[in-house]
Amino acid sequence: MNELKLKDHLCFSLYSCSRAISRMYRPMLEKLGITYPQYLVLLVLWERGECSVKELGEELDLDTGTLTPLLKRMEANHLINRERLKQDERVVMIKLTENGEALKKDAMCIPLSLISSSSLDLKKLQELNETIKMLSEHVVQQSAEKQV
């Protein structure tokens, strides 16, 4: 491996792959009237039903400064509702609206498009995903240890 050749850098391969997948998803997301970050929010809510802004930020690795405007746009588009908890007004809960829930059926084609265009079978894609998640966890852990 030549450390200075772009094609030999895993970080560039992951970046390039991520951009290619985003380009593939874009037309499908546009038909749904949502952006990729909004799609990620919806994925979490379709799985959980509801969650706090803090939990959502942790799940998506986004800070509240990034998440709040995103959620405001989604609320303006009638995809979610944001409600402060009565018992602790610092906590804002995010819930799907009927419109947000209805998009789930139409969004089913999105992950299927990756499977069909990848030329990998589902098992290989799942193994690849697990390897990438493990790599990410190790890099995050190493970075945290170096900061201590």
**Which tokens is 18 given?**
């991520």
Residue 145 has pLDDT above 90, yes or no: no
Q: Taking a C-beta distance cutoff of 8 angstroms, is the pair 57, 41 a contact? A: no
Query: Measured in Å, how far apart are the chain's first and last C-alpha atoms?
Result: 31
Give residue limits of the domains in the chain. Answer: 8-110
Rg of the chain over all Cα atoms, to the nearest angstrom: 18
pLDDT score for 108: 92
pLDDT at position 146: 79
| Residue 83 near residue 73 (C-beta atoms within 8 A) | no
Per-residue pLDDT, averaged over 94-100, amounts to: 97
Q: What is the pLDDT of residues 69-78, one digit of tens each?
A: 999 999 999 9
Q: Give the tens place of pLDDT for each residue, 13-49.
A: 999 999 999 999 999 999 999 999 999 999 999 999 8
145, 146, 148, 139: which is closest to 61 by C-alpha? 139
CATH for 8-110 is 1.10.10.10
Q: What is the dihedral of CA 137, 122, 11, 59, to 10 degrees?
A: -40
